[in-house]
């Protein structure tokens, strides 16, 4: 039997929730990483995915200007990155430099891959769609990369749960 509740009341049961990192090039040539839970694959052929970005994010401003981005699936080693990239803005700080996160050049786009991630996808923006206070950017996946040790991905386990982090979304 279902009982009515607010949207927020349902949040604890959504865990574990996958998390990602979106990387977009800034105007100064550096790359800005942002934690993003709201990512999904949307097509097999061509391979496509979508990410939902809030209007106030620096990443939103950058993605309106840029035609390329990387979606990274952080590994279990990358909890510090997910917390930091998801609670600081690239408007004020160079997040990659601050944490000394290992990166390597993308192979097809002008982008950066996160070396310790479970996987990385190089994407080209194909369109966007407004949903309330976020914009969904759709991208075609031009190249995929996996960690050579096939590292397991990080999940948001929820507040109060071991290894979990509290997402600042919604
Ligand atoms: C686990 C986690 C998941 C998040 N998911 C999203 C998301 O899907 N979309 C979004 O717009 N913001 C999301 N955020 C919030 C942004 O990551 C956060 O506001 C960030 O500081 C924005 O950085 P920027 O200003 O450099 O773009 C998430 C934060 C965390 C911690």
Instruction: Report the separation in Å between the CA atom of 3 and the middle of ligand 1, taken as the mean of its atom positions.
Output: 30
Instruction: Report the separation in Å between the CA atom of 34 and the middle of ligand 1, taken as the mean of its atom positions.
Output: 6
Domain range for 84 is 29-156
Nearest in space to 135 (alpha carbons), one of 69, 31, 56: 56
Residue 44: give its domain's CATH number. 2.30.110.10
Residue 7 has pLDDT above 50, yes or no: yes
Instruction: Report the separation in Å between the CA atom of 108 and the middle of ligand 1, taken as the mean of its atom positions.
Output: 26
Residue 18 placed within a domain: no
pLDDT digits (tens, 9 = 90+) for 63-74: 999 999 999 999
Q: Is 90 in the pocket of ligand 1 (CB under 6 A)?
A: yes
**Predicted model pTM:** 0.94
Q: Once rounded to an integer, what is the mean pLDDT over residues 156-163?
A: 60
Total structural domains in the chain? 1
Q: Is 154 in the pocket of ligand 1 (CB under 6 A)?
A: no
Residue 121 has pLDDT above 50, yes or no: yes
Instruction: Assign 38 to helix, strand or coil.
Output: coil
Q: Is 21 in the pocket of ligand 1 (CB under 6 A)?
A: no
Instruction: Assign 60 to helix, strand or coil.
Output: helix
CA distances from 37 to 19, 73, 117 (A): 4, 10, 15
Q: Once rounded to an integer, what is the mean pLDDT over residues 95-119?
A: 98
Residue 163 placed within a domain: no
pLDDT digits (tens, 9 = 90+) for 86-105: 999 999 999 999 999 999 99
């Amino acid at each position: 039997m279902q009982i009515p509740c607010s949207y927020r009341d349902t949040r604890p049961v959504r865990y574990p929730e996958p998390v990602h990192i979106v990387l977009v090039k800034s105007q100064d040539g550096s790359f800005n990483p942002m934690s993003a839970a709201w990512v999904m694959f949307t097509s097999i052929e061509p391979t496509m995915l979508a990410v939902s970005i809030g209007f106030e994010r620096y990443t939103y401003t950058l993605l309106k200007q840029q035609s390329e981005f990387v979606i990274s699936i952080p590994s279990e080693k990358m909890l510090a990155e997910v917390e930091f990239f998801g609670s600081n803005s690239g408007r004020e700080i160079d997040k990659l430099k601050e944490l000394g996160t290992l990166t390597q050049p993308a192979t097809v786009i002008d982008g950066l891959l996160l070396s310790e991630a479970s996987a990385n996808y190089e994407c080209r923006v194909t369109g966007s769609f407004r949903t309330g206070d976020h914009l969904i950017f759709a991208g075609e996946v031009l190249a995929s990369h996996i960690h050579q040790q096939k590292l397991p991905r990080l999940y948001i386990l929820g507040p109060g749960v071991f290894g979990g982090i509290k997402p600042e979304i919604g």
